[in-house]
Amino acid sequence: MGDLVEIYPPEKQLRYAVYSVRNVTPDGLLFNRSFIVLKNGYGVIVRFTRLHEYSGAYDKRTTIPLESNPEGKMYFIVMMLNYVLVDHGEDEEIKILPSPYEDEAKKQYETALRAVGSSLRHRTENDDELFFFGGDTKKWHLDVAIDCVREMDENDRTYVANHLQTTDYHFGYAMGIRNEYIYPAKKHHSFMADNDSTEIMKVIFSILHRGYSFRNPVCTKYFESFEYGCLVHKYGESAKDLFVAIENRIFSQEENLTAEDALNQLKESLTKKYGKISIY
């Protein structure tokens, strides 16, 4: 397959963020001070700014009270700064570079786009408004998913392919997706970043796992259910064969099989093995 261009190299990403420090006086009084800083895509502070001085907390005062810490106000300022000032370039999409495999890569990419319900097309100036107010969201999710997978090493790909519940990634890998792709985006305006990162994770699962399909509602409902999450964390290792058997039925899209049926069958199998199971 042809080489793919990374959407945003992390070291080149810059975003405003709030950095807070907790201090203590010689008398033992605790107080916080917050600053507005610039961080790169790895979350490393690359520059301190003086923008906190414009938060309004210290206006017309000769002293700074200990309790004065406009941290909440700074988060709003940071949101506006990132929305107005931070620029990560014009392109927010996968591009296939020229190579001997370019035609085959484009063919596979177009097949993937049709699978997610999108289409490959060249953007024009007239597309700017469309992309800004949502854009081709399905294509965007696919592009981000491809970019994420291409950055994974083999161990990461194997791990993800064996852990197909999006909630496991919400405060980890999916947070990285939100920070690197969703929040900085200017051509794709996201009103629900958590939802977008969840949908992108489902596309990643579909890329890395031969049977998983984000278009299969039985599949996604089963893996996203609270009961499955509890059961797999308690019994996933010791009863792996039982989980695989149910998953294979889901992946084969057996007629009339529902997510509820699959969960009930899983619980029945586990009960036969252990005599009694605990979900909570």
* Per-residue model confidence (pLDDT) at position 260: 94
DSSP the chain: ---B--SS-GGG--EEEEEEEEEE-TTS-EEEEEEEEEE-TTS-EEEE-SGGGGSSTTTT-SS--TT---HHHHHHHHHHHHHHT----S--S--BPPSTTHHHHHHHHHHHHHHHT-------GGGHHHHHTT-SHHHHHHHHHHHHHHH--HHHHHHHHT---GGGGTTTHHHHHIIIIITT-SSS--S-HHHHHHHHHHHHHHHH-SS--TT-HHHHHHHH-HHHHHHHHHHTTTTHHHHHHHHHHHHTT-TT--HHHHHHHHHHHHHHHHSS----
**Which residues are 37's β-sheet partners?**
17, 48
What are the φ/ψ torsions at residue 191 (nearest 5 degrees)? -90, -20
> What integer pLDDT is reported at residue 150 of this predicted model?
82
Q: What is the pLDDT of residue 25?
A: 75
Per-residue pLDDT, 56? 58
Q: What is the dihedral of CA 175, 176, 177, 181, to 10 degrees?
A: 120
Question: What CA–CA distances, in Å, run from 215 to 57, 120, 141, 190, 205?
Answer: 50, 19, 13, 21, 11
Tokens of 277: 């199971």
- pTM beyond 0.85, yes or no: no
One-letter amino acid identity for 19? Y
Q: What is the pLDDT at residue 259? A: 93
pLDDT tens-digit map of 151-183 = 888 889 899 998 999 999 998 899 989 888 888
Residue ranges of the chain with pLDDT lower than 50?
1-6, 58-63, 84, 86-89, 119-135
Per-residue tokens: 206 = 């579909």
Q: Please state whether beta strands 15-24 and 30-39 pair in parallel, antiparallel, or not at all (unpaired).
A: antiparallel
Neighbours of 223 (CB within 10 A): 22
Rounded to whole angstroms, the Cα distance separating 6 from 95 reads 8
Residues 156, 172 contacting (CB under 8 angstroms): no
What is the per-residue pLDDT for 8?
A: 53
Positive or negative torsion for Cα 138, 141, 144, 149: negative
Q: Residue 168 to residues 15, 63, 123, 163, 252: CA-CA distances in angstroms? A: 26, 47, 35, 8, 24
pLDDT of residue 92: 73
Query: Which pLDDT value is given to residue 261?
Result: 94
Rg (CA), the chain: 24
